[in-house]
């Protein structure tokens, strides 16, 4: 279920990236949206990495993008990353994994800080497992006593 939630976040990023990049006239909006989608499948660092690649691609001279386009793309991704981290990700992961939004944010940050990309990938499923064990094992045993 975690993978479905992460896929939903990635699809949201890909679709919104395509729409925005098409509006501002960025080069290769479909290709850049696919890059945004693929990198967004990686929790925490994927959106940042994809954004850097997309803005970097827009900065390449000779492909028809102006500095205004680069600036608009950079600002868009800064705003999008904040909305994804604090609004979209907790809400989608809460529905997909049944983990409260605050736990999603704390687990992802802790996992990423402790183990890097691997920690970020496994943090939310581990948090969901701990919550399930507490609900299914610990609380029923306490009620028996």
For the cut 90, the answer to whether the pLDDT of residue 104 exceeds it is no
- Give the chain's end-to-end CA distance (angstroms, integer): 33
Instruction: Indicate the pTM of the whole model.
Output: 0.69
Q: What percent of the chain has pLDDT over 90?
A: 29
Q: How many structural domains is the chain composed of?
A: 1
Average pLDDT, the chain: 86
pLDDT of residue 12: 93
List, in order, residues 6 or more apart from 5 with CB less than 8 Å away.
92, 93, 95, 96, 97
Q: For residue range 10-57, what is the model confidence (pLDDT) as tens digits?
A: 999 999 999 999 998 888 899 999 999 999 988 777 888 999 999 998
For the cut 80, the answer to whether the pLDDT of residue 97 exceeds it is no
Q: How confident is the model at residue 64 (pLDDT cuts 50, 70, 90)?
A: low
Domain span including residue 121:
2-144
């Amino acid at each position: 279920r975690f993978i479905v939630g992460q896929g939903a976040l990635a699809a949201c990023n890909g679709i919104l990236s395509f729409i925005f990049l098409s509006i501002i006239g960025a080069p290769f909006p479909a290709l850049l949206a696919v890059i945004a989608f693929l990198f967004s499948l990686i929790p925490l660092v994927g959106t940042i990495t994809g954004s850097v690649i997309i803005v970097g691609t827009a900065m390449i001279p000779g492909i028809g993008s102006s500095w205004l386009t680069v600036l608009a793309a950079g600002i868009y991704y800064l705003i999008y990353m904040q909305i994804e981290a604090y609004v979209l990700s907790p809400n989608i992961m809460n529905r997909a994994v049944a983990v409260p939004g605050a736990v999603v944010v704390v687990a992802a940050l802790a996992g990423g800080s402790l183990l890097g990309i691997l920690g970020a990938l496994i943090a939310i499923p581990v948090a969901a497992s701990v919550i399930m064990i507490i609900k299914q094992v610990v609380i029923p045993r306490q009620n028996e006593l």
